[in-house]
Each structure stands twice: as structure tokens, then as C-alpha cells.
Chain A
Amino acid sequence: MATIVEIVVDLPSMLRPFAEGQAEVTARGSTLEEVLADLFRRFPLLRRHLQDEAGHLRDHVNLFLNDQNVRWLEGPKIPVHLGDTLTVLQAVSGG
């Protein structure tokens, strides 16, 4: 049975106002999908900045689970473990 853990989520400065000004928050789950759901439950305003209308990760948003870009990993049901960190970064692009 999967273990629900609480992990750290690092937020970029532009999104901190939507998380009560915090650079680092926590969210719970046994998979990445559950962690994101918990994150959006705690901070609903973050959802629309990380996901589009269809619920997909926005094109220029990168999520790193520890040092792995989640886009390279297999699907949203990626297991998370105690001590993991989820980092939200904008892709290196634009001007």
C-alpha cells in the first residue's frame, strides 16, 4: 500500500503571492498527482498558473521532482517519498 508523505514544494517568486507569500510550502500524497491535488487544495489560486484549462501542465512550466524533470518520467502517478522536493520553475525561454 502506498505511503502518504509530506514533501516540500519550492515556488518561484512570481507565484509566491498565491501561496500566502511563501517560497516553500508542503503538500501531501503518495504520488505526484496526489501531491499536486493537495497543493491546489491548499492554495487554489496556484492551479490556473501551473495547469491549463484541460488540466495539463502549462507548456513553459517545469516541475522537478528532486533533480528529475517530471516530463521525462512516466506519467503523473510517479511515487513520491519522504524527503523529496518538488521544484516549480519556468522553462528557460522568452524575454
Chain B
Amino acid sequence: MRRVLVMVGTRKGAFFYWSDEERREWRLEGPLLKGWEVGSFTYDPRGEGRIWAGLSHFVYGPHLQVSTDLGQNWRQIDHPPAYEEEAGRKLNRIWCVAAGPESAPQDLYVGVDEAGLFASRDGGETWNEVLGLNEHPTREEWQPGAGGLCCHSVIQDPDDARRLWVGISAVGVFRTDDGGETWQPRNEGLPIVIEGKIHKNVGTCVHSLVRTPDGKLFQQNHQGVFRSDDGADSWQRIETGLPSRFGFPMVQDPVSGDLFVLPLESDEYRFFSEGKIAVYRSQDGGGSWQPVQAGLPRDGVFSGVLRHSLAADGLAGEDGSGGGLYFGTTGGQVFASRDGGGQWQALPGTLPRVQSVRAVVLED
């Protein structure tokens, strides 16, 4: 017997949706972590299975909490990521928590604003700066995007414990091949929108990063959608069929291998064009995109979907062609598909502004 948990982080707390593997009926639980802005959720299945929440508040600052009992109880980390006072930087928000490699079950990473990466080697109890990135020579010309100067994405290469990628808004993609000691910008082929006087290889606004099991990388960028076939050494546009280049999240359905994006009207407005929710799917690795919007409101929805608010559960639907997909809007609506995007349904409730969505399949 399996259960499906969809964790929704909002501006004012967390909400959990529960269902069985049929995913037809959903129960809403929450608010959990009431009042806290939940920018990121991660489920780390290694060991006992833990849920990590990156939290912040405009009054009380950022911090990290963890649950080992599926959200019933939470514990604040006593020694969370923190910049030294002499670094001259402020840690404004925790943007993402990522698990390290399978070979190092105690390793975790956190991406933050002001942009930086922290690593833990003891299961998240203590953290150290990854100075190779945080003190990168190009940093002198890093500039923030509308969402801040944020390291919002961290991807561990499952096939190489020493390789990771990060995405930093308005700066670009970096990769390490030596476990974080050194990092190189990996933005060849991406539009540079904030060109530095000295450093010409940073200044592109990556919104979300995805790595697929075949080793390809994909990104939704401020100015387009891209694929890399060589570990981010170079990027190519993959936008045929998309109504807009602008959007935030991207996800791959592990069941079908299909990719999904949610185009918004433009960076001037940042909501769905004409108030019609738009979901686009590619079944050929980004070669072409088609709308998959059956069951979604197609009128009066002038909201958007933020970069962490699209997720897949990896559980095949009844006909096996696609898995569960979920997204939450800035208007507080959450939608689900149990067949890889073929049909969508609204989940119950209207939540605060949705900032993150993650889905987990649990074996009972």
C-alpha cells in the first residue's frame, strides 16, 4: 500500500495533501509551520527519511527545520547555515536543500540568498560555506534578479559524487567536478543579460535547472528554454511550440521522461497570458512542445507559478503512460494530474501564495 504526499510551501506556512496511489481523492493538512515562508521542501529518503524545510520571515529571519515523522513534529537546526560576520554578507533566505550522493548519506547542501552554497557532512546539524563558489572570482560582478541574489538550485550528479551544478539567479550556472573545491561558470550559449566589465561568462538569469537520468540538463531561463547535452558545457534553445519564452519552473516526469514548463505572458507581467493557465509538455527532449491543459481553468486566472512550485511523484498512472504531476500558483491554487499531464484536477482549498511544491511516494 502506498501513499502520496504533496508538500506545498507557501508564504504563510506549509500544507500537505495526502492521497493513496489512486490519487483521486485528496485530504488537506495544515497549516504546518504556521506563519513561516516556506521557500523549499526536500524529502531525503536516505536513512530514516527526513523532510527538510527552508524557512524565512521578513521579521524573524531565515532558518532550517527538519521532520522525521512526515511533518507531525519539526525541529529547528541549532547551527544552521550562516555567514561569518566578517564575510560582509547576510543570509536572507534559504532557497533549496539538496541531498548529497548516495555514497555519502550524511551530506547535504543548501543554496541561499545572498547567493551562496553551504555543505553539511553530518546530516544537517552543522554547515560550512563552500568557499570555492561563494568566493568565486566572478562574484565581484554578480548582481541580483527580481527575486534577489539567490542560489536557488543545487543538483548532485548521481553518477559522480564529485560533480554538482548550481543555478544562481541573474548570474548563471556553475559546475564543480572536484567535490566543490573549484567551480566554473557553465553558460556558453545562454543569453547574458547583465554583462560584466570583466567577467563575460556570467550574468544570465537561470530560473530552474533539471537533470534527467540520461545525463542531459535543461533549464528555464529568463529568456528562454535550453538543453545541454554535455553537462552544461554548452546550451541550445529548445522552444519550438512554446507561446512564450518566459516562465519559472521545469520538471521531468520520471515515468514518461516528458518535460513540462508553465509559460507566462512575459517578464513584465509574470502571470498567465489572458488569464489562461498554460502547461506545455515535450515528449522529445525539448525538440517540440505541446499544450496539455485539459481540466485546467482557462479563464480569469491571473497568477503565475514560481520556480520551485512544479513537481512530479514518479508513480505511474493507471495506463502507465505518465506519472503524477503537481503545481501551485501565486494565487494559492494547487493542481494535479495523475496521468502525466493528460488531465488535471484542482486540489481542495485556496492557500496563501505558493512558493514550493514537492511530491513523495511513501511505502507503508
Within B6-52, which residues are at the interface with A (CB < 8 Å)?
34-36
Partner of A58 from B36, B59, B74, B76 at Cβ < 8 Å: B59
Give B contacts to A, CB under 8 Å: 34-36, 57-61, 63, 74, 76, 78, 80, 82-85, 90-91
* B60 and A58 contacting across the interface, CB-CB below 8 Å: yes
Partner of A18 from B34, B76, B83, B84 at Cβ < 8 Å: B76
Contacts of B78 in A (CB 8 A): 44-45
| Interface contacts beyond A48-B80, A53-B84, A93-B58: sample of 14 additional A-B pairs, CB < 8 Å, sorted by A | A13-B35, A14-B36, A14-B60, A17-B74, A17-B76, A48-B61, A49-B57, A49-B61, A49-B63, A52-B90, A53-B85, A60-B59, A61-B59, A90-B60
Cα–Cα distance between A45 and B64 once the two chains are bound (Å): 11
Within A36-64, which residues are at the interface with B (CB < 8 Å)?
44-45, 48-50, 52-54, 58, 60-61
- Residue of B at shortest CB range from A55? B85
Cα–Cα distance between A94 and B91 once the two chains are bound (Å): 19
Total residue contacts A-B, CB cutoff 8 A: 44
Contacts of A93 in B (CB 8 A): 58
A-B contact list, 18 entries, CB within 8 Å: A14-B36, A17-B74, A18-B76, A44-B78, A45-B78, A48-B63, A48-B80, A49-B60, A49-B63, A52-B61, A52-B90, A53-B82, A53-B85, A53-B90, A58-B59, A90-B59, A94-B58, A94-B59
Cα–Cα distance between A94 and B34 once the two chains are bound (Å): 16
A38 nearest CB across to chain B (Å): 18
Contact (A54, B60) CB under 8 Å given A14-B35, A18-B76, A44-B78: no
Interface range for A = 20 to 34
A56 nearest CB across to chain B (Å): 10
Cα–Cα distance between A91 and B57 once the two chains are bound (Å): 12
Answer whether residue A25 sits at the interface, using C-beta atoms and an 8 A cutoff.
Answer: no
* A45 and B35 contacting across the interface, CB-CB below 8 Å: no
Cα–Cα distance between A47 and B278 once the two chains are bound (Å): 44
Answer whether residue A5 sits at the interface, using C-beta atoms and an 8 A cutoff.
Answer: no
Answer whether residue A4 sits at the interface, using C-beta atoms and an 8 A cutoff.
Answer: no
A34 nearest CB across to chain B (Å): 22
